[in-house]
Amino acid sequence: MGEAPAFLFDDLLKGSDNGVDFVYKDRETTTIVGKAKYVIGDYDDSALSIGVKVFNDSLGMWVYPTVLGTKPNLSSDLWTLPLGEDRVLMIKNGAITDDNLWFLEVDTPFVRQQKKILGSSNVVAWSKGVMGYAGKPIVISGPSGVGKGTLINKLMIEFPSMFGFSVSHTTRAPREKEVNGIHYHFTERAVMEKEIKDGKFLEFASVHGNLYGTSIESVEVVADAGKRCILDIDVQGAKAVRASSLDAIFIFISPPSCEDLEKRLRSRGTETEEQIQKRLRNAKGELDEGKSPGLFDHILVNDDLEACYKTLKNLLGLHESADNTNQSVRKKIGLPQVNSVSKVGSKIYLNSANADIGNASMNSFVLDVSSRKGGAPGRTRGLDLYPVYPFGGLANGFSKLS
């Protein structure tokens, strides 16, 4: 049995409080966070997604911020309310599950990091809310030829429904067997530089003379599929992600010796002699950096491949060989049409237009954001949504996620 909120009934009747704003075919909501007023809605007729504009009190003017992340599709039936000092919760009425809860991040660590990168104080980011948890993303780094790709491949083959690969962008030329969109998004430098300027990247770095980067979308796509994201990125990228809000596990793969590394690079046969030399020169610095205190959670020596793979699986908590350990617990409940919203602490009470409050009704829901995790880039996970009777208690047949 879940908690029985004695105040629920009153809160439901009170409706709009705690900064809750509602729009029904009226174009926009206004939410105040700190000194700024965030207007969210479909005021821009030409747009296909929900727009954001901000009234900045200190400047005394409206600004149109850079909006990062996948944007919610248009809807003119919205609730918005502030959640702390750093984000706005948006509820899209009548939208399908997984498209009905969104967070507009206005001052989270990710947004602050992006403000620095973009050199602008006007940056916000959308993050879609999803029920339940998926495991933390996994960042894998190590010198070229050490066996990162081989180990990742083995994980993806053994656990296809659990892991998804973050497909990076790169300006390097594709290798013979590489497929655009699967191994990398192969791109022109000018295009990638423009996209970096537009704030589309979580991190990027110049590696062995080419530009590589993880787009925000590549991480979000994996999260949307309910999978755990694996990032194969260099040490500079790992540092950038460590400094970001992406709560990940960081693993460094090290070779048994420099001679072995050279042998593997040559046996792969994908690089010219000049490229091999460049990779070997860079390997020394990467191996030193891999030992930087606080950067990597685990360092694995890839000597015997099977032994290293087994250690990797163990530290990821994958003791079974079948793909039946999916850690993503996703509960799907559709929201009814909501006609009042109120917030008490980290619980948001949603009451449906069809609710018959006099009778015990299944049309009252609690959205519990207390175990919220993640956020932009990627998704906001750990949300719990459960129906309640107005006078407390969980509705029959539902259990609370914990």
Ligand X SMILES: Nc1ncnc2c1ncn2[C@@H]1O[C@H](COP(=O)(O)OP(=O)(O)O)[C@@H](O)[C@H]1O
Pairing mode, strands 184-186 and 373-374: unpaired
Q: Which of 92, 148, 228, 381 binds ligand X (CB under 6 A)?
A: 148
The token pair that represents 311 in the structure block = 């250690």
Query: What sign does the dihedral 38-40-44-50 (CA atoms) show?
Result: positive
Q: How far is CA 64 from CA 60, 81, 87, 145, in A?
A: 13, 20, 17, 45
Q: How far is CA 18 from CA 8, 79, 82, 345, 349, in A?
A: 14, 12, 8, 10, 12
Residues that bind ligand GDP (CB under 6 A): 144-145, 149, 168, 172, 203, 205, 207-208, 212-214, 232-234, 236-237
Is there a catalytic annotation at residue 87?
Answer: no
Instruction: Supply the minimum distance, in Å, between the C-beta of residue 259 and ligand GDP.
Output: 17
Pairing mode, strands 184-186 and 168-170: parallel
Is there a catalytic annotation at residue 175?
Answer: yes
What does 267 interact with, of ligand GDP, ligand X, none (CB < 5 to 8 A by kind)?
ligand X
Cα 132 from Cα 346, distance rounded (Å): 16
Instruction: Out of 279, 372, 379, 381, pick the active-site residue.
Output: 279
Which of 131/192 has CB closer to ligand GDP? 192
The stretch among 113-121, 146-154, 281-289, 318-326 that binds ligand X (CB under 6 A) is 146-154
**Does residue number 237 form part of the binding site for ligand X (CB under 6 A)?**
no
Q: How far is CA 129 from CA 54, 272, 357, 361, in A?
A: 22, 46, 27, 25
Per-residue contact flags (x/-) with ligand X for residues 290 to 319, judged by CB under 6 A: ------------x--x--------------
Cα 351 from Cα 71, distance rounded (Å): 26
Which of 195/260 has CB closer to ligand X? 260
Instruction: Out of 27, 264, 268, 330, pick the active-site residue.
Output: 268
Asked if 81 and 341 touch (Cβ cutoff 8 Å), the reply is yes
3-state secondary structure (DSSP) of residue 94:
coil
Per-residue contact flags (x/-) with ligand X for residues 126 to 145, judged by CB under 6 A: ----------------x-xx
Per-residue contact flags (x/-) with ligand X for residues 254 to 283, judged by CB under 6 A: ----------x--xx---------------
**Does residue number 109 form part of the binding site for ligand X (CB under 6 A)?**
no
Is there a catalytic annotation at residue 27?
Answer: no
Size of site (CB under 6 A) for ligand X? 13
Give catalytic residues, as residue numbers: 175, 268, 279
